[in-house]
Structure 1
Amino acid sequence: MPGTPGAAEFYRELERFCLATFDGGHALTRVEWSKGWGYTDTAAWADPEVIGTVVPRSYGEGQWAEGTELLRRLDPHGVFGNAFLDGLLGP
């Protein structure tokens, strides 16, 4: 439930467990966009390592590049962009 005391800490611990356990050896953790990821002890989508490295890597370099290029091509003026997406999608 949103606002539950200790939720962010719990989700960060769960996220770290999933990323370490399912690292591509026998299974792979991928981000589902409708869920929170990149947890710090206080918020979702706030850990720069997860946002900038782990999320793109989980999709593979080729798929990530293809997806970000498609988004840029469909929105060349950045109408639907924001600071968070700019950081997630990279330069």
Structure 2
Amino acid sequence: MACESEWSAVGAALAGFVAACATVETGVGVIACAAAGWAYYNAVDALDKCRQENGLAAIDSSVLGSLYAEVEQIQQQADSAGAVA
């Protein structure tokens, strides 16, 4: 099956994202959440590229765009927390 390792990476990154974002009450928590969010976004992006390279349907660009926007917003909160901390 094409893109098996990418699917695994998405699953692992999603689990890390959920776990890291459970601690967003603290400045360090939001920084960890942002880092995990970027890892998840990058894993989904890599899966999308793999699917396209193997002639499979691409992931809907609105899904990737929404995920990027969400992680970017978390990153802004992390940047603010880092400036305050």
> Is the helix fraction higher in 1 or 2?
2
Class of the TM-score when normalised by the shorter of the 2 chains: 0.3 to 0.5
Report the TM-score, using the length of structure 2 for normalisation: 0.38
Bigger RCO (CA 8 Å, 6+ sep):
2
